[in-house]
Amino acid sequence: MTDSNPLYQHTVFIHPNMLSRFSRLFQQGVLVQATVGCSVHAFLCHQIGIRPDYLENRIQTIFLDGKAIDAPEQSVIANGSTLALSAAMPGLVGATFRKGGKYATLRAGITDTSSKIGMHEETGCVTVRLFNFMAAEIGPLILKLGIIVTGRDILNAISDLESTENAFRIDAHPASSKSPVGTLNPHDNILLILSPE
């Protein structure tokens, strides 16, 4: 192990031209180490770096731990929470789950109405899932902070590449083209971070 963080064993830096290879992971859900006990709004805008107008206008559907939320500034992320984000979805389903939408009463049974503002903030982990355009638009912001994935996730994402020269750095060492991730165990947790260009 080269990192002292107990959540992961290695750090892998990826070149920005590799982003599209990892977009599928965002739909499955990626683990992000963050401050928890804060509102969804604070998590997205202050920690991830999403502009408030983007949150208001572009992110139309938000689920927190399986419940639709209408007020991101009131719903609180806890350690171990799962946060799912989507742009507008089509049809009645999309209209029903749209935050603050006129059909929101149709989902009253699965809407988060609790307010836990005032919870103690601490370091924890959040699983983030991004659907439709969100992976391409928000994924790079999250990757700048780093996501925790398995070695297998990385191996699957690059399995068809002929060469990964200059595409990765593992624990601050460039990955060779012959053995791009040879030091990674498929079962290890990896902190995946977007390299500056």
Separation CA 178–CA 165 (nearest Å) = 8
CA distance linking residue 123 with residue 117, whole number of Å: 16
pLDDT tens digits for range 99-156: 554 544 544 454 455 555 556 789 999 999 999 889 999 999 999 999 999 989 988 8
d(CA 162, CA 160): 6
pTM of the model: 0.80
Q: What is the pLDDT of residues 49-106, one digit of tens each?
A: 999 999 999 998 899 998 888 889 888 999 999 999 998 655 544 545 545 545 445 4
Residue whose C-alpha is closest to residue 85's, from 111, 104, 51, 58:
58
